[in-house]
Amino acid sequence: LSHTIRRVTPSDAADIADMIHGLAEFERAPDQCTVTETQITAALFAAAPTVFGHVAEVDGEVAGMALWFLSFSTWDGVAGIYLEDLFVRNRFAVAALPARCLRPSRPNASTTATPDCRGRC
């Protein structure tokens, strides 16, 4: 299987919302998840986004996602990222895909969003 990890695009919003609902089902809390595709689009693609993400594609199909946001440690005085969700659809849970979803987040956060992560990203 051929896979790619890339930054999310507006066309991924429906898949992301679907995977978030899939995560809620996995956590046995589907009724508590009310997020919509519109909310995902607004959060990820606003002028000042509140969340960032990457998707994993397998043979051109969105197979998983990593959603994260910027954080700050008041105790350490350093910026970092907080991984909110890492989700891979069941049929794609092979080839260490969850771990690969994390790799793009680290360099992106440390070079563009938070230049001084000090190994915490």
Q: Given this model, what pLDDT does residue 102 score?
A: 53
pLDDT at 97: 57
Mean pLDDT of the chain: 84
The residue-averaged pLDDT of 55-64 equals: 94
- The 8-class DSSP code of residue 90 comes to G
- For residue 57, give every residue at least 6 positions away whose Cβ sits within 8 Å of its Cβ, in sequence order, or none: 3, 4, 5, 6, 63
Q: Please name the residue ranges forming H helices in 51-104.
A: 97-102
pLDDT of residue 111: 40
What CATH superfamily is the domain 3-113? Gcn5-related N-acetyltransferase (GNAT) (3.40.630.30)
Residue 93: predicted pLDDT: 81
Mean pLDDT of the 38-42 span: 97
pLDDT score, position 116: 41
